Amino acid sequence: MPHQDTPIVDVIASGVHDTKNVLFDALMRIGVAAHEVSGNRRDEALDLLKDAGAAVEKATNRLSTLLSAYRLARHENPVVLMPVLVGDLVEYAALRSPPSAQDQSRVHVVRSEVCPDTWLLDRELVADCLVNATLNALRFAVSRIRISAAVENGWLVIKVEDDGPGFSPELTSHPARMQSGVGLFVARRVAALHRQHGRHGRLILENGGAYGGAVFTLMLP
Ligand SMILES: Nc1ncnc2c1ncn2[C@@H]1O[C@H](COP(=O)(O)OP(=O)(O)OP(=O)(O)O)[C@@H](O)[C@H]1O
Ligand SMILES: [Mg+2]
């Protein structure tokens, strides 16, 4: 688990290593599935292929986050602010969740009426943070997830909330010393690199909110 002070190249290396293991696991399952098919064990093969598909999906999302981490490491000023449709952005995060998870959990997208149509932000980096937060929420939610966007005191506030057990105390109580996976590590940096009008963005991890579970809040100036 990377610490916020961990050099970003180390975070990337460890993420690539984990992703390689996930893909190797998928490859093994596909091999066994082929064997099951040749033995006419179709149901067993299907289960293995489903698991392999889920592993490849996980690896794809992880690689996308690692590319964001690479952008943060490679460029002195990696954040490119452009007017982005806020509604599209939150819809995108909801739609990237796997169909299997969409069946089990109800993902609500809510856009406050006072939220303007567009906001200046880096679409690729922010979308990636939101997809990761949504996939995290889907992993922990019992049945409900809410992705919302609003404007509060001149900040764009995007939240991903779920009805799971919430973030551990280590994640919520020591944000500066936070140890996390690659996704939250990148989200914290992406938030901080969004600077406008002398203010910079922040990531807030807390519990409670609309559904009583984890609340991932990205505040962008
Ligand atoms: N909605 C949530 N509810 C409870 N715990 C969460 C939630 N989201 C994240 N976490 C905790 O924070 C950790 C770090 O999340 P992060 O997204 O950074 O990494 P990850 O999901 O473990 O792996 P990846 O790098 O693939 O995203 C998770 O492993 C989990 O323990
Ligand atoms: Mg994650």
Quick check: is 103 in a domain? yes
Name the closest-CA residue to atom 15, ligand 1.
181
**Which is more confidently placed, 106 or 12?**
12
* Cα 14–Cα 20–Cα 24 angle in degrees, nearest 5: 150
Residue nearest to atom 22 of ligand 1 (CA): 181
What would the two tokens of residue 56 be?
A: 């490849």
Please identify, among 47, 74, 101, the residue that sits at the C-terminal boundary of a domain. Answer: 74
Q: Whose CA is nearest to atom 29 of ligand 1?
A: 181
Mark whether 66 and 43 lie in a shared domain.
Answer: yes
Q: What is the pLDDT of residues 99-132, one digit of tens each?
A: 655 555 677 877 776 677 899 999 999 999 999 9
Looking at the fold, whether 202 and 104 belong to one and the same domain comes out as yes
What single DSSP character describes residue 177? G
Residue 148 forms beta bridges with which residues?
110, 159
Kindly report, residue by residue over 33-80, the tens digit of the pLDDT: 999 999 999 999 999 999 999 899 889 989 999 999 999 988 888 999
Identify whether residues 55 and 135 lie together within a single domain: no
110 lies in the same domain as 193: yes
The atom number, within ligand 1, closest to the CA of 216 reads: 1
| CA–CA gap between residue 85 and residue 102 (Å, rounded) | 23
Task: Report, as an integer, the average pLDDT of 201-206.
Answer: 96
Contact 72, 8 (CB under 8 A): yes
- The reply to whether 58 and 108 lie within a common domain is no
Judge whether 200 and 221 are in contact, CB under 8 Å. Answer: yes
Same domain, 49 and 101: no
Residues 162 and 185 in one domain: yes
123 with 163, same domain: the answer is yes
Give the residue among 37, 78, 29 at the shortest CA–CA distance from 58.
29
| Domain count within the chain | 2
- Is there an atom of ligand 1 within 6 Å of 184 CB? yes
Instruction: DSSP letter for 196, please.
Output: E
57 and 120 in a single domain? The answer is: no
CA dist., res. 148 & res. 108, Å (int): 8
Domain that holds residue 169: 82-220
Contact 143, 163 (CB under 8 A): yes
Structure tokens at 185: 């590590």
